[in-house]
């Protein structure tokens, strides 16, 4: 039945008319990728940030390869950019899914592959400690579990985790938000 309807549409509308139907308009086209801006560090520049050999080298500098992950730690795909890191540590990049198509959902956080895995990645109110592969919520007024304190710029442990010493002991000079 669908084949008959398609044949009728081809006869009535012609090929250009059929391709103007939204369902067919995107057929065979490469999906448009999302463009996001990532802050990668305090005042980072091409010369002050070192990346592994897998980085993209451009005339303007070196760009890290970026992985996209959801909040459960499932890899959603990888992204890269031809634009070098700009003054202040911002990087604009094109985000696409594992097969090169547009990602189906917005990633909960983005991990930068660099020599030091101690980046602070905060999106959707979550702090991701990539060294220990754990995610913590940002501390609220009545947070009873371990969380990341934006004022202290470190992880604040809850009772049991504080007692057991299961919280990484590290802090940061500055934390930047990015969306």
**Over the stretch 57-115, which tens digit does the pLDDT of each residue have?**
544 555 555 555 555 555 555 555 554 554 444 455 555 554 444 444 444 444 444 33
Determine contact, residues 37/92, Cβ cutoff 8 Å: yes
pLDDT at position 154: 75
Higher pLDDT, 22 or 166: 166
Cα 95 to chain center, whole Å? 8
Distance CA 100, CA 76 (A): 11
Q: Output 130 or 48, whichever has higher pLDDT.
A: 130
pTM: 0.32
Q: Contact at 8 Å (CB) between 91 and 51?
A: no
Whether the pLDDT of residue 14 is over 50: the answer is no
pLDDT at 136: 74
Three-state SS annotation for 111-136? EECCCCCCCEEEECCEEEECCCCEEE
DSSP string for residues in 26-44: TTTSPPPPEEEEEE-STT-
pLDDT at 64: 53
Given this model, what pLDDT does residue 53 score? 45
Tens-digit pLDDT profile for residues 127-145: 766 666 677 777 776 767 7
How far is CA 61 from each of CA 5, 73, 92, 152, 158, rounded to the nearest angstrom? 54, 30, 14, 34, 43
Q: Which residue has the higher pLDDT, 179 or 68?
A: 68
Tens of pLDDT, residue by residue over 142-166, are 767 788 777 777 778 877 776 776 6
Top-confidence residue, 151 or 1:
151
Instruction: Please state, in angstroms and rounded to a whole number, the distance separating the CA atoms of residues 28 and 127.
Output: 39
């Amino acid at each position: 039945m669908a084949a008959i309807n398609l044949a009728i549409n081809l006869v009535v509308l012609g090929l250009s008319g059929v391709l103007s139907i939204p369902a067919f308009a995107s057929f065979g086209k490469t999906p448009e990728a999302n463009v996001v801006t990532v802050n990668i560090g305090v005042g980072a520049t091409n010369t002050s940030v070192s990346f592994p050999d897998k980085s993209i080298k451009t005339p303007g500098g070196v760009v890290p390869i970026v992985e996209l992950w959801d909040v459960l730690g499932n890899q959603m795909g990888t992204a890269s950019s031809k634009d070098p890191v700009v003054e202040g540590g911002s990087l604009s990049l094109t985000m696409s899914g594992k097969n090169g198509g547009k990602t189906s959902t917005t990633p909960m956080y983005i991990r930068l592959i660099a020599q030091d895995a101690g980046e602070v990645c905060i999106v959707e109110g979550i702090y991701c400690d990539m060294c220990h592969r754990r995610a913590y919520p940002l501390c609220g007024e009545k947070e009873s579990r371990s969380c990341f304190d934006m004022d202290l710029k470190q992880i604040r442990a809850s009772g049991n985790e504080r007692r057991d010493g299961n919280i990484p002991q590290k802090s940061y000079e500055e934390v930047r938000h990015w969306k």
